[in-house]
Amino acid sequence: MKRRDGRYIFVAPAIVLLSLVTIYPAIYVFILSLRRKMLIFHISRFTGLDNYIFLLKDDRFWNALWNTVYFTAVSVSLEMLLGLGIALLLNRPFAAKGMVRAAVLVPWAIPTVVSARMWEWIFNSDFGILNYLLGMKINWLGNPSWALHAAIFADVWKTTPFVAILLMAGLQVIPRELGQAARIDGAGAWGVFRHVTLPLLKPVILVALIFRTLDAFRVFDVVYVLTGGGPANSTETLSVYAYKVLFQTLQFGYGSALSVVVFLCVGGISILYIKLLSGIRA
Amino acid sequence: MRKTLFYSVLLLVVGYCCGPYLWQLITSLKPDGELTALPPVFPERVTFSHYVSIFRESRFFRIILNSAAVASVTTVLSIVIGSLAAFGLAKLNLRRKGVILGFVLSVSMFPPIATVCPLYLVIRALGLRDTWWGLVLTYTTFSLPLSIWTLTGFFARIPDEIYLAARVDGCSPFQALCRIMLPVAAPGVFTAAILVFIFAWNEFLFALTLTSTTASRTVPVAIALFPGLHEIPWGDIAAASVVVTVPLLALVFLFQRRIVEGLTAGAVKG
Amino acid sequence: MAEIRFEKIEKSFGNVTVIRELDLAIGEGEFFTFVGPSGCGKSTILNMIAGLERADRGRIFFDDTMVNDLSPGDRDVAMVFQSYALYPHMTVRENLAFPLRIRKTCKETMNREVDQIAALLGLEELLSRKPGQLSGGQRQRVALGRAIIRRPKVFLMDEPLSNLDARLRVEMRAELKKLRRELGITIVYVTHDQEEALSLSDRIAVLESGRIRQCGTALDLYLRPADIFVAGFIGTPPMNVVRGTVREKSPLVIDCNGRIISPLTENSPPKSDVLVGIRPDDLAVSHEQEKGSFRVTVSEIEPAGPFNWVDVIWNGVPVRGAARRDEGLVPGEKVYAVFAPENVLVFDAESGNRT
């Protein structure tokens, strides 16, 4: 039986690396969350569930949770709709299609940080081109009511291409004849979409949804750079809050507890989606 | 009539996607004085002073070197380790294949914020803080799900019989991987490399926490923390943004078909 | 060349037992074919000889060496796959040379061998092309060449001709026979096409659900099939099967769909319900009535060159027979059919075995 075991050596390096650098810290963060640990004061002692009890009473946590949920819901919905629209639009042969596809990929390729600074400049209340074009002087990033939506807009701009690309690939697999057959049967454009395209696209839509929902929930880069979590914590998402607790106030214990909560939420969302996906496959 | 509608919507979409970046390009060419005065939209005097300034004053060369080095080494390591794993998963009929793929997939769902704190402590303990290797280790690992996912898709598309023929001809599995599978899947490997490179180049959170000085600081961190004495140097930031994105855009325009293939290799079961 | 021996081989995939209790010996230099419907396990057996699958139980021997634990590269076998499995990124020359290159053969020998094989198979003009630039027949020959070049002990072929069009298939069959004569190798061949099996092989094993129903020469299988499955599988068009009842045991008298006949059998049928097999070429259909003929109704006529296949209804049972080309039969006509009782086969209705 030595022949059989020899084959696992191919996956061994990957598994070892993944376990050491991701599983081990994942376990470690759970342990940390049960401690009060502050490096600079050399405090490190076991405190049980104190951090979690504090968390439940922490208004700032609930604010961050709400911001995250809102951000995720709005952002993902917009991305899916826009992405679907673009995919449907591009799903036909036309001149320079390759160039257009490349252009659509531009937001995806730009580093999130670069894109965030770019939008920061566009949203600038005094010198930003948006206010110039609108002829108004809205303080996009300084006004608590607008800031989160500005962040959502920036995120949607960056990630719509990924959704569009996935959906385009899904559309390409649908045979043209099906739509043609439906047309012959009397369906209009909307009918074809509703009864042929959409059902066949469901699995891909779900995959795109899973990826995007998880990414949106974990969002950090764009918020941190665009608004830093402000103004007045109106854009502070869970990841940003956890980061600040960890690396600005250096409370590794409480920060870990927040991280664990993010972890659990993401895990819950994943399980939900996987159940949905297997339901559709079956 | 329909054609003009189609093309105008197309133009709108392209404008939506490229417009903001083009604005940044224009901004980078405006002298400081003009930046704070709108109109005019287009610069009256085109200047390259911002580009000069970022390289002279902000040690931007070093920062780009950091990013390039880390991303390149990460790409090589990730592809090597990922190819081995993907080969095993695609062709070797491993009994635990589903479990392993599930494991790899679930790791990709970890929120980075959850692992960043322990990782920071571990990297610090290993003395790898503010070094290239600290980032390489982290990026290689976190890019593995991406490279394994993409490469497995490409390897699986090669007919099994080609691998079996190589075995009957006398190859060990490893020889078959090197002599047959990798050359035949070369376009896919190239695509996976592009995706990993872009991932490593753009990563922010880990770079932010694991680096502290320009010794290892990468491009995204530098752009986020751009120093400004009294006010934010928008022109310099714009210039830095342009410089940093040009190689990425080149990749995208040259290889858009491959990139799309790679991104969708795992997601769409055609 | 080597003798291949299977001892009590068993193989399952998950819960499905694909091969049960296989005992078989393939002689040196023999052209041995496994034939059977899809899913009968023939490709699995081939893979086990090659070492691409491991048997769950039992032993496989090449001559006196047990090879169960040997990797495919160490067994000195060569295999031609259904899809040819040519390496798409290598030229024909590199494809042919690959098995030698892996064994670190020196360059001179390699080139010499490649040229020799290319001459043998008519590939000289194609050596610098890549598989994508070749036709199906050319690819097949390259696959053959890559297998031959190592002069292996055993040649394995998994439906190598099924991707070719009919005319090419006939051509390649002739080439295979010629090669076999010139090289004298042991060939283990797998196909679902019984005609191909009959025309190429020294011996044939008919497989069904992982069991060998019968193993023998083409003539054995055709004239003396072991059971109803083999009888129905071998022969084109398939044998007619009608129900019959035994009226008397000895001498044997059977009421066969209304006709009383006295066929010759090796044994007595165990039960009174039997199945009678009449080959279409033994059933003559014509306008003339003769001794022993019975009335049938014509339903379809299928020209087959020098004669016609005729589908008729005999007492409500559809059967196929043969008629002269110029007999002038018309669908719906009532005509006569006759067969010689010495040529029929009798099978027990329950077990399917021939008596």
For the stretch C34-70, pLDDT in tens is: 998 887 888 889 999 988 888 888 899 988 888 888 8
How far is B200 from chain A, CA to nearest CA, in Å? 10
Cβ-defined contact of B137 to A114 (cutoff 8 Å):
no
Is residue A273 one of the residues assigned to a domain? yes
Chain B residues close to A115, C-beta within 8 Å: 20
Tell me, what's the pLDDT at A281?
Answer: 62
Chains adjacent to C (≥3 CB pairs closer than 8 angstroms)? A, B
B165 contacts C79? CB cut-off 8 A: yes
Number of folded domains that form chain A? 2
Cβ–Cβ pairs < 8 A, chains A and C: 3
Bridge-partner residues for C17, per DSSP?
C12
Which of 19-48 (A) contact B at CB < 8 A?
Answer: 20-26, 28-29, 32
Of A191, A192, A161, the closest CA to residue A177 belongs to A192
The per-residue pLDDT for range B129-149, each reduced to its tens digit, is 888 999 999 999 999 999 998
Closest C-alpha to C113, from C76, C154, C150: C150
Q: Which residue of A has its CA nearest to B139?
A: A21
Residue A80's domain spans which residues? 58-281
Q: Is the pLDDT of residue A3 over 80?
A: no
At a CB cut-off of 8 Å and minimum separation 6, what does B70 contact?
B132, B135, B136, B139, B200, B216, B218
A32 and A87, same domain (yes or no)? no
Do residues A145 and A29 share a domain?
no
Checking if the pLDDT of A235 tops 80, the result is yes
Rounded-to-integer distance, Cα A260 and Cα C215, Å:
67
Express each pLDDT in A137-189 by its tens digit: 778 888 888 889 999 999 999 999 888 888 888 888 888 788 788 878 877 77
Q: Which chain A residue shows the shortest CA-CA distance from C70?
A: A3
Measured between CA atoms, how close is B141 to chain A, in angstroms? Answer: 6
The pLDDT assigned to C1 comes to 62
Say which CATH number the domain at A104 has: 1.10.3720.10
Q: Where are the beta strands (DSSP E) in C192-248?
A: 203-208, 211-216, 240-248
**Residue A35 pLDDT greater than 50, yes or no:** yes
Q: How far is B152 from chain A (nearest CA, A)?
A: 12
Structure tokens at B94: 């491993």
Give the range with max mean pLDDT: A188-192, A274-278, C124-128: C124-128
- Say whether both A229 and A259 belong to one domain: yes
The whole-number pLDDT of residue B230 equals: 62
User: Which chain B residues have a beta carbon less than 8 Å from that of C85?
Assistant: 159, 161-162, 164-165
Test B204 with A112 for CB contact under 8 angstroms.
yes
Which domains are seen in chain C, by residue range?
4-232 (3.40.50.300), 239-277+342-355 (2.40.50), 284-338 (2.40.50.140)
**Coil, strand or helix: which one is A143?**
coil
| Identity of the residue in A113, A169, A259 whose CB atom sits nearest the CB atom of B268 | A169
Cross-chain CB nearest to B10 (options A100, A112, A262)? A100
Coil/strand/helix, residue B210: helix
Between CA C140 and CA C160 the distance in angstroms is: 7
Q: Which chain C positions have a beta carbon within 8 Å of A3's beta carbon?
A: 54, 69, 71
Contacts of A282 by beta carbon, 8 Å cutoff, 6+ apart? none
Q: Which candidate, B138, B136, B107, places its Cα nearest to that of B120?
A: B138
- A65 and A38 part of one domain: no
- Cα–Cα distance for residue pair A93/A175, rounded to 1 Å: 14
Inspect the interface and report whether the beta carbons of C71 and B172 lie closer than 8 Å. yes
Cβ distance of A218 and B209 shorter than 8 Å: no
Q: What is the DSSP string of C276-321?
A: EEE-GGG-EEES---TT-EEEEEEEEEEETTEEEEEEEETTEEEEE
Q: In B, which residues are within 8 Å of C78 by CB distance?
A: 168-169
CA angle A76, A82, A84 (to 5 degrees): 100
Kindly state the average pLDDT of the residues A245-266.
88
Residue A52 lies in a domain: no
Q: Which chain B residue is nearest to residue A32, measuring alpha carbons?
A: B118
ipTM surpasses 0.85:
no
User: Mean pLDDT across chain A, nearest whole number?
Assistant: 85
Residue A1 pLDDT grade (very low, low, confident, very high; cuts 50, 70, 90): very low
Shortest Cα distance, chain A CAs vs residue C9, angstroms: 18
Statement: residue B37 has pLDDT above 70: no
Shared-domain flag, residues A191 and A141: yes
C52:B167 CB<8 A:
yes
Chain C residues in contact with B159 (beta carbon < 8 A): 83, 85
C202: exposed, middle or buried (Cβ count in 10 Å: 0-12, 13-18, 19+): middle
A window 3-32, beta carbon within 8 A of C = 3
Which residues from chain B sit within 8 angstroms of residue C86, using beta carbons?
Answer: 162, 165
Cα B121 versus chain centre, distance: 25
pLDDT at position B52, please? 83
B155-212: pLDDT as tens digits? 988 889 999 999 999 888 999 999 999 999 988 899 899 989 989 999 999 999 998 8
User: Cα(A201)–Cα(A169) distance, rounded to whole angstroms?
Assistant: 10
Strands across the sheet containing C4-13: C16-26, C4-13, C57-62, C65-66
What is each CA distance from C20 to C6, C38, C231, in whole angstroms?
A: 12, 16, 22
Is the pLDDT at B266 greater than 50, yes or no? yes
CB-based contact C81 B165, cutoff 8 Å: yes
- What is the rounded average pLDDT for all residues in chain B? 85
Of C86, C88, C102, the CB nearest to B171: C102
In a domain? residue A165:
yes
Residues of B in contact with A218 (CB under 8 A): 111-113
Across C143-252, the runs of DSSP E, i.e. the strands, are 154-158, 186-191, 203-208, 211-216, 240-248
State how far residue C79 is from chain B, nearest Cα, in angstroms. Answer: 7
Query: Cβ contacts (< 8 Å) between C71 and chain A: which residues?
Result: 3
A63-87 pLDDT, tens digit per residue, is 999 999 999 999 999 999 999 988 8
| Residues A103 and A22 reside in one and the same domain | no
Q: Mean pLDDT: which of A265-274, B66-75, B227-236 is highest?
A: B66-75
| A105 touching chain B per CB within 8 A | yes
Q: Please indicate, yes or no, whether residues A153 and A263 belong to a single structural domain of this protein.
A: yes
Task: Give the per-residue pLDDT at B129.
Answer: 85
DSSP state of A122: H
- Return the number of CB contacts < 8 Å for A and B: 260
* Interface chains of chain B (3 or more CB pairs under 8 Å): A, C
Give the residue-averaged pLDDT of B47-61.
Answer: 80
Residue A63 sits in the same domain as residue A178: yes
Q: Give A-chain residues touching C54 at CB under 8 angstroms.
A: 3
Pair A28, A95 in one domain: no
Token pair for C190: 């797998």
Count of residues for chain A? 282
Residue type, B255: F
CB distance from A280 to chain B under 8 Å? no
Chain C residues with CB inside 8 Å of B179's CB? 102
For residues B205 and A243, give the distance between their C-alpha atoms in angstroms, rounded to a whole number: 9
Q: In sequence order, what are the residues at sequence separation of 6 or more whose Cβ sits closer than 8 angstroms to the Cβ of residue B179?
A: B166, B171, C102
Q: Is A46 helix (H, G, I), strand (E, B) or coil?
A: strand
CB-nearest to B162 from C82, C87, C99 is C87
Q: Which chains touch A (3 or more CB pairs under 8 A)?
A: B, C
pLDDT of residue B270: 36
pLDDT in tens, B208-233: 999 888 888 898 998 888 766 567 78
pLDDT band at residue B265, thresholds of 50, 70 and 90?
A: low
Shared domain check, A176 and A82: yes
Strand partners, C214: C206
- Residue C68 distance to chain A (closest CA, Å): 11
> Considering only CB atoms, which chain B residues are within 8 Å of C82?
161
Q: Which of A3, A5, A7 to mutate to test the interface with C (most CBs of C within 10 A)?
A: A3
- Give the distance from residue C46's alpha carbon to the nearest chain A alpha carbon, in angstroms: 20
A7 vs B: CB within 8 A? yes
| Least confident range of A109-123, A128-142, B244-258, C287-301 | A128-142
d(CA C118, CA C142): 8
The alpha-carbon gap from B179 to the nearest alpha carbon of chain C, in Å, equals 10
Same domain membership, residue A271 and residue A154: yes
Tell me: do A262 and A124 sit in the same domain: yes
- Among chain B residues, CA nearest to A255: B117
Nearest 5°: the CA angle C279, C280, C281 is 90
Q: Which two tokens stand for residue C119?
A: 């001459």
Whether residue A2 has pLDDT greater than 60: no
To the nearest whole Å, the CA of A28 is away from the closest chain C CA by: 39
Helix axes B234-265, A97-109, angle to 10 degrees: 120
Nearest-neighbour CA in chain C from B165: distance (Å): 6
Residues of B in contact with C103 (CB under 8 A): 170
Closest chain B residue by Cα to residue A131: B38
Which residues of chain C are modeled with pLDDT < 50? none
Nearest to C72 among B168, B183, B184 (CB): B168
Give a yes or no: residue A53 inside a domain.
Answer: no
**C-alpha to C-alpha distance for C36 and C230, rounded to whole angstroms:** 9
Torsion angle in degrees (nearest 10) through CA of A184, A188, A193, A199: -50
Q: Evaluate whether residue A51 is within a structural domain.
A: no
Domains, chain B: 63-218 (1.10.3720.10)
Q: Which of B168, B172, B179 sits opposite C77 (nearest CB)?
A: B168
Give whole-number Cα distances, C245 to A32, C229, C262, C263, in Å. Answer: 85, 20, 12, 13
Nearest-neighbour CA in chain C from A282: distance (Å): 21
Is B240 within 8 Å of B60 (Cβ atoms)? yes
Q: Name the phi and psi angles at C259, rounded to 5.
A: -100, 135
Contact C72 B167 (CB under 8 A): yes
Which pLDDT score, from 0 to 100, does residue A73 have?
94
